[in-house]
Every structure is written in C-alpha cells, then in structure tokens.
Structure 1
Amino acid sequence: MLSLVVLISGGGSNLRALLEASEDAEFPARVVAIGADRDADGLALGEEFNVPTFTVPYSSHADRESWGDELLAQIQQWQPDLVVLSGLMRLLPPRVVAALSPNLINTHPAYLPEFPGAHGVRDALAAGVSQTGASLIVVDNGVDDGPIIAQERVPVLPGDTESTLHERIKTLERRLLVQAVLDIANGHVNLKEPSHT
C-alpha cells in the first residue's frame, strides 16, 4: 500500500479526488496526512475523510529555508512513500526537494514545458493558443521543469475565461493524478525514470 502525504494551499479539489479514490478497498494507495502552508479550505477534507492534518504557516518563519525545514520535519513524521503537491503555491527549498525526490510529484495546469509558473491558465489565454493542458511532473529545483509523468491536452474554447478553462483543466488534473498514483503503486511508473508521454 502506497502511503501519501498531500500538500495544499487552497480548496483541495485534487486532494478530494485522491481521498475518494482511496475509499475503494482495491485502490493501492492511502493519504496518511494532509499538510498546508496556510489555513487552507482543503484542510476540512481531513475531518471529512478522517485523515490527520498539519499546517506549517509560511508567514511564521523567518525565511523559506526555515519554513522548508519545519515542513520537511512534519512530512517525515508520516514516512510517506510519495509526497503530492496539490495546489501548494510555494516553491520548496532545495533541501526539501533533495530529501523527498524523486518521490515528490506536482500537478500543473498547462501542457509543460508550455506556460510554467504560477499563472499557467492565465498565460495560455493571454498567448491566444487553441489548446493547453495539464501535466504531472516529478519535482526538481526548477520551476515546473521536472521530468514529466503524464500530460494531456485541453482545448481552449471561444469565450473561455481563466475560471472556465481552469475548471476543465482541474477535471483532467484529477484524473491524471489518480491514475498516476495507481500506476506508481502498481509499479507501472518508475519515478526514478519516468517516461515522457
């Protein structure tokens, strides 16, 4: 059974998809803890699904490194097989990445390497492209440039707003994430050598 710690900053829609999938006794992974860098709405899912939560507020630390050290200590208490960044809106310090990699994955609302960074959906709309996508990557010390585990295209429709496009991408992100966790748990994906799709 693959054990997961999921880190969030917001509502946790990808987290909910994982929690719902893991309610199936046949699903070979379980979320053992949920962490956040702020008082995120998604922490309420911990109570709903009976999963422990922890918060390491970025604002209560002097710098990114000390915040990262505390976050890493909290994560390591759970000894997870895999750490999932699910909407965590902070770059992890190199020490944290080094300690967890390659068992550290992240979803991104674009078809990488297109539109990396915090505003992938907005950037795609601003560029006027006809399609964007969703990607799942192994986290490294770059900005959304780690090895790609899975990705899929999403069309940009006439009249799309950042909100409508992001909702369609989120639906795809949830499916990619649940499938990737399943594939990792079943040994079909090796995070040390992920194949580009």
Structure 2
Amino acid sequence: MIRVDPIFPGRPLRLVVLASGEGTLFQSLLDARRETPSLSVQALVTDKPCPAIDRARRADIPVATITPPRKNAPATPEGHPATDHPATCHQDTYAERRRQWNSELAQAVQHYDPDIVVSAGFMRIVGDEFLARFGGRMINTHPALLPAFPGAHAVADAVAYGAKITGSTIHLVDSGVDTGPILEQEAVPIHDGDMPDTVHRRIKIVERRLLVSTLDAIARRGYISDGRKASFLP
C-alpha cells in the first residue's frame, strides 16, 4: 500500500520534472507557479540536450542531464563496449549500463529532494533501480484513456482504430509501460476526418491543465494506492 499525505498549506509540493523534448508540459508547471502556490518546481532532469532546458534556464530552474547508454555502443580495441571505466570493461553489458544509468538518474533526482517526480514527455522507461527510490511517488502523463492505447504511438493508434473518444491520463509509474494506477483522466473527442496531429493538439490543451490540477490535488489531498487502483484522500 502506498500513501502520500497532503502537505499544503504547510509547504508547497516539491517537484522534479523529467523531460526529453520541447518541454511544453514542463512549461505548464512553470506558468502555473503564480496561481498555484501549492506547487514548487525544484529542477528539470533530461536524458539529452533538448528545448526544455532553455525553458528551465529562462526560469532559473536547475538542470541535470543524465545520458542513457546506447544499446550498440562502440567497441574498444579489446572488443568491449566503450565505457568511462575501462577497468570494468569485461563486466560491462548493456543491461548493466542501463542499471547504472537508472541509479545515476535516481541520484540526480534525489539531489533536489522531491515529493513527486513528474514524467512530462520523458521518452525513457525507468527501471527497478529508479523505482526502488521513487516508486509510488512518480507520475506520468499519457495521451490516451488508459488502459486503451498504451505506448509511444497512442494518438495515432486511437485514430487508426477509429475510436471516437480518447483523452489524457495521469497515472502513477510502475515497472510496466503505461500500466500504473490511474489518478485522473479527461476525455477528448476524435472527429471524423481528424489526423493524429490534430487530435494530439487537442489532447495537449487538456493535458497541461490536467497535470497542474492533479498535482494541486496531490499537494492538498494526497493519495493512496494498492498498486492497481489509486484515489485521492478525502
């Protein structure tokens, strides 16, 4: 059982945001700071250089970039994957380097002491090493009404299937792909003739607002989850 108690108005909810791209969801949190005093953005953590970093710097938000390993890393002359630690080349596998990356990512996030970690367009699946530290305290936004249309192509999949309704889901992150307990959802219509990019723009409008309101509810009410279902505390 996971329980996160409300903390506002005693203090704001401390957020660390993970992002990989433009950072529009991250920007929605920055924009909400004045009117939503229950939230405090502590840092942005990325997996690569991306426009979200510029948004953070303009807002004087600290940034950390933790680059994940490449699956087909260039080999050293000895035939082992390249590494910053040559002495451990013989032990170095992709799986081990992924575990190391997850540990480094967790350390970078922990440095800012968040109450909640927000995956906002972060295009990486975090592993057990990260979830051991932040499981139950990490949320993700997904552009569909889960459990329908999980994965990276949710909007295109919904349009191709002929769905009439899709939407935005805010859920807790677990070890699966978009399988964690759902905190909030809001529906978005798909009209005849809509293209995926049109639907995605419609979802993003809802998604930005829903992310802010969900985090505000966490700060003010907290939540409880049994690992399958989640609900806000009374």
TM-score w.r.t. the length of structure 1 is 0.93
Which residues of 2 match residues 118-157 of structure 1 at below 5 A?
118-157=152-191
Compared CA separation, residues 4 and 191, structure 1 to 2 (3 A) = farther
For the 8 Å contact 2:181–2:225, the answer to whether it is kept is no
- What are structure 1's unaligned runs of at least 5 residues? none
Q: Equivalents in 2 of 1:164, 1:173: separation in Å?
A: 14
Q: Which 4+ runs in 1 deviate beyond 6 A?
A: none
Where does residue 18 of structure 2 map in the other structure? 7
Where does residue 99 of structure 2 map in the other structure? 65
Aligned mate of 1:30, from 12, 30, 40: 40
Q: Equivalents in 2 of 1:8, 1:45: separation in Å?
A: 11
Compared CA separation, residues 191 and 38, structure 1 to 2 (3 A) = farther
For the 8 Å contact 1:103–1:191, the answer to whether it is kept is no
Larger relative contact order (C-alpha < 8 A, sep ≥ 6)? 2
> SS state of the match for residue 71, structure 1?
helix
Which residues of 2 match residues 1-197 of structure 1 at below 5 A?
1-24=12-35, 27-59=37-69, 62=94, 63-187=97-221, 189-192=222-225, 194-195=230-231
- What are structure 2's unaligned runs of at least 5 residues? 1-11, 71-82, 84-93
For the 8 Å contact 1:4–1:81, the answer to whether it is kept is yes
Write the deviation string for residues 86-130 of structure 1: whole angstroms up to 9, x where unpaired: 011110011211210211000000000000111110110111111
Aligned residues: CA RMSD? 1.6
Q: Equivalents in 1 of 2:176, 2:110: separation in Å?
A: 23
The total of aligned residue pairs comes to 194
- % of aligned pairs identical? 40
TM-score w.r.t. the length of structure 2 is 0.79
For the 8 Å contact 2:23–2:52, the answer to whether it is kept is yes
Q: Equivalents in 2 of 1:19, 1:98: separation in Å?
A: 28
